[in-house]
A and B are shown apart, each in its own frame.
Chain A
């Protein structure tokens, strides 16, 4: 097991380095710079700005000093928000996005697995078709449609929940979490349905039933462990995707999270911020993939054995 973890960790270092390198040079290749402005910038001012942000140095030198700073934990100053550092802004947005992502994931897992299992128990009946059709709609429904619809119904017509904000009261976390979680719930529902269907035909379930175990024990104790494997390996990437993909929901609900920085940084050509958020999120994605691989290996001994040899 340790060998497996060590091997996968080593594998992730070149991945992250590649992400940094590609991002570093791509943002600089994009047309328009961080200081291009509707108002004309005089050459003197442009030169002064470039000097302050080290843009007057050759690109390779900038790249090396960025890497050196990064290793020492410094992501540099934001180009767009003078007086703020990239790590500071990320740390400010992260807890909010993580909280939102966690609620969304809980909603997604609860709704997704329950309806997926439910559907798998009686395949090709109404009990299967109804939740799966809803899941299909859920996957197709973009959050920029679902969010405003929920806001219209629960925020404005019924006036039960606030239309935007975060942390002003417990109510304002409900709609964004549902909006963000819905798509993932639908996906998890489909995953757990197919996982369960596959498991239900396995020999060891027939054995369990033959032993005379009651059906709920067969399902909860024997079928679930195998049937939910695809869901478990999906959870890591899903959480990472929730963290990096919450931009739309954060914009709809005015949530001060990480997603807004991530997208705005690209529009602003905020070089350090683009790099900072990309490096941070790609590291997260790598780590969560690693975690879900480890959990999957723990749940499924066959994977572990490959590394025992």
Chain B
């Protein structure tokens, strides 16, 4: 009997071991075959460039589509994409793009200027409801067309001059416009394919599914299993195919970052979308070569509801902001990886340096609060710090709660709400103080500062300043000279920080685990990857 049991145990253990991991991990076989296994965060909502809005979607769409321009991954400067060159008129308002004649769709057809015009008409079609349609708004009449005030698309500033020439007219010089033409919301789609599967404005169309989709990028979609993986393979028809080194990329939805880290350790991923905060010290100490942490174009901040007393008093808002020890917060709660923020725009955005208007100053914070009528916090009402349910948000809220209690003698309650409930509360102004984060759409201070214009959709604080609006909406877009423009932005940001409707907390970082064999993904402020530069070098 005992012998039998021993046999059964041995047999099952042998079975267990034999059916386990194959000899080579996915990373090893990927290195050999030029296949990148990429942790991509969440399952993409879809692959229609004019409908989706997320970063995981962007990672895939930028591999299978290409816009007029692309970006250099080192410098983030615009590089030729479908357009091989462009001319800019002297006043900076007219861009003429010369498309390359060898840019092909994956069905062999040539990409033409008309494809772009048609795609942009679709993206701006009011019935489609594209969330990113505002990316086109610097173009003449684009906003009116998108809002349904203008029905004739020929009045929008997009003109096809000939098969390979596209002219774009802008309201203002808009110096960052080339970056918008590298944003997926301005990518071309194949008109016949879209029309085969439904009306241009049909959100339920199946044209972007595997087997149906026609694309123009360095890779083509070959496999899409929802919640499992998406595979793209090198496109032989891509105009710059010689430069493309990877044979395929497999994207995995990895919304559980703890599992993602285990997959990385198990050799299933070359690259992780994120790193769990508590793993960072471990990797830093034991395997620093595997972890990459870089500044990211995003700011973590608190919104203050300026319509509610006592936050309608600027002295109270400033006191709250000055009493936060951001250095300590960054060092302890955030494991020393983030940078403390004292303004809305991250420092170094295209060379822009935000103004330094305040610092951590307990003396002044107490004085301001006393001036506002709350010496030592006496009589100050209970404050609610609203955040969406997540452990790191909770830690920060608790730390700030303690800082306010100790420094100012005011009591506050961190209050978590499920994501959509939190959005609902913030949108309706149903909060005292609410956590917020903003990731720039493009590298320019404007992508942060234009949020805070009067009644801006992302303002939510009740902040309104005529001079601020004047600079953001009218003066800065007209300036061709970068220095002059940045001086205006500094003026605007100074106004913003003097009024303090938001409390900046820290500047985001991107964090990834990357195997040494994966090359050509230099860290940059947009966390942007240009897939044709990426390669796998098993020698590393």
Contact = CB atoms under 8 A, between A and B. Distances in A.
Interface in A157-178: 159-166, 169-171, 174
B1 interface: no
Interface string B201-220: 00111111100000000000
Contacts of B131: 37, 39, 41, 45
B204 A89 contact: no
Contacts of A46: 129
A48 B259 contact: no
B225 interface: yes
Secondary structure at the B interface, as helix, strand, loop or mixed, is loop
Contact of B423 (A37, A166, A169, A254): A37
B21 A267 contact: no
Size band of the B side of the interface? 35 or more
A163 B206 contact: no
A83 B208 contact: yes
A190 interface: no
A83 to B, nearest CB: 5
A58 interface: no
Contacts of A57: none
Interface residues of A, number: 54
Interface string B46-59: 10100101000000
Contacts of B285: none
A163 B127 contact: no
B259 A83 contact: no
B440 to A, nearest CB: 12
Nearest to A248: B256
A159 B21 CA distance: 7
A29 to B, nearest CB: 12
Interface string B118-135: 000000001111110110
Secondary structure at the A interface, as helix, strand, loop or mixed, is loop
A93 B129 contact: no
Contacts of B209: 83
A74 to B, nearest CB: 12
Among the interface residues B133, B204, B418, B425, which one has the most CB atoms of the partner chain A within 10 A? B204
Interface stretch (A123-131, A148-156, A200-208): A148-156
Interface in A22-51: 30-33, 36-42, 44-46, 48-49, 51
B227 A156 contact: no
Contacts of B207: 83
B146 A44 contact: yes
Interface in B32-51: 45-46, 48, 51
A166 B421 CA distance: 33
A93 B427 contact: no
A41 B262 CA distance: 37
Interface string B127-158: 11111011000000000001110000000000
B259 A267 contact: no
Interface string B252-287: 111110110011011010000000000000000000
Among the interface residues A32, A51, A154, which one has the most CB atoms of the partner chain B within 10 A? A32
B424 interface: yes
Given A174-B16, A254-B254, A162 B46 contact: no
Given A159-B20, A162-B21, A30 B420 contact: yes
B328 interface: no
Contacts of B466: none
A254 B259 CA distance: 8
Nearest to B428: A31
A230 interface: no
B129 A160 contact: no
Contacts of B9: none
A267 B3 CA distance: 54
Contacts of A256: 225-228
Contacts of B266: 155-156, 162-164
B263 A163 contact: yes
A110 to B, nearest CB: 13
Interface in A102-116: none
B53 A82 contact: no
B19 interface: yes
Interface of A: 30-33, 36-42, 44-46, 48-49, 51-52, 77, 80-84, 89, 92-93, 148, 151, 154-156, 159-166, 169-171, 174, 251-254, 256-257, 260-261, 267, 269
Given A81-B45, A251-B256, A267-B420, 12 more contacts: A31-B420, A32-B420, A32-B421, A41-B457, A45-B131, A49-B203, A83-B205, A161-B21, A163-B265, A252-B256, A253-B259, A257-B227
Interface of B: 16-17, 19-22, 45-46, 48, 51, 53, 126-131, 133-134, 146-148, 203-209, 225-228, 252-256, 258-259, 262-263, 265-266, 268, 418-425, 427, 437, 456-458
Top 6 A-B residue pairs of the complex, sorted by shortest distance between their CB atoms: A40-B457, A32-B420, A48-B129, A256-B227, A256-B228, A32-B424
